[in-house]
Structure 1
Amino acid sequence: MNTPERIDPSTVAGEREMLESWLEYHRETLALKCAGLTEKQLREASVPPSGLTLIGLVRHMAEVERAWFRRTLAAEEAGPIYYTDDDRDGDFHPGEGDTWDEAHTTWRAEIARARALASGHSLDDPGAGRRDRATGHPYSLRWIYLHMIEEYARHNGHADLIRERLDGVTGE
């Protein structure tokens, strides 16, 4: 696996560039939390009693990228990758045959698709897919970007704890 390259977001960029650069920053932060670990370490739930693993977080974020950009923004018929009706948290539960290479490749492919879909929309464009259950309003690309930054930031905190317990590596 190549060493992820994380670029600090500009402090003076316009809104779209700022949102996109913060999302990229958080995507690469998760990649950095996973860099240099063995397959066994990536699958280890190191913060008991939580069952969270780094591979599970990456699989989850592949599902999240897919849900918000493909299903919500673009209204694509993109079914789940890892979860099922029988295991709604299947993204967090990799089986013995599931590998880091597959999870990482899938996650990166979902990110690439998300970037491509977002590039054709303005921040104010409403998504063509899923709508807010309470209001019935569509989600704008701006809302999706902000939500994705929040989602990554929260899970990067989890990843930081998992990584520190695995090998003592800390950092932002």
Structure 2
Amino acid sequence: MENLKKAYIAGGCFWGMEDLFRMRPGVKDTEVGYLGGQNENPTYNNHPGHAEAIEITYNPNETSYKELLDYFFRVHDPTTVDSQGNDRGSSYRSAIFIQNEQEREVANEVFKIVDDSGRWPGKVVTTLEHYTKFWPAEEYHQDYLIKSPNGYTCHFERFGTFL
């Protein structure tokens, strides 16, 4: 039996992030949803303060948390506040939802690597937020770009690895 772990990130519209992460080695499942907001049972039309986030289920024997964060910083612009592509507002913020101190340490290490690389035009503004509860989004949002292959996304791989 696999010893699976979960990671929680947000970097703009959840469709594009999910579409890219689902294909990563070691990633076993992805789900889109809402995290970090003010209400319970958020919906697309009512999620104040929540970020559009993804839950990544991964096998740590096949990929590491650090490698997931490396990819995260390659597929969205972590230097823009509350925006990604055409999307604007705190729902589209760049955030990592930390579950423990080890994840915080890895995230801070990757922040430094990304900033020191000079690849992005500014410094990382990604927030580190405490994981609270992941609320799955509506079914029509799950695997959206598989269901609608011509759907909008602003996510793509911009660089090779930072590591």
- If the length of structure 2 is used for normalisation, what is the TM-score? 0.29
> Quick check: which has more Rg, 1 or 2?
1
Q: Greater relative contact order: 1 or 2 (C-alpha under 8 angstroms, separation 6 or more)?
A: 2
Larger relative strand fraction: 2
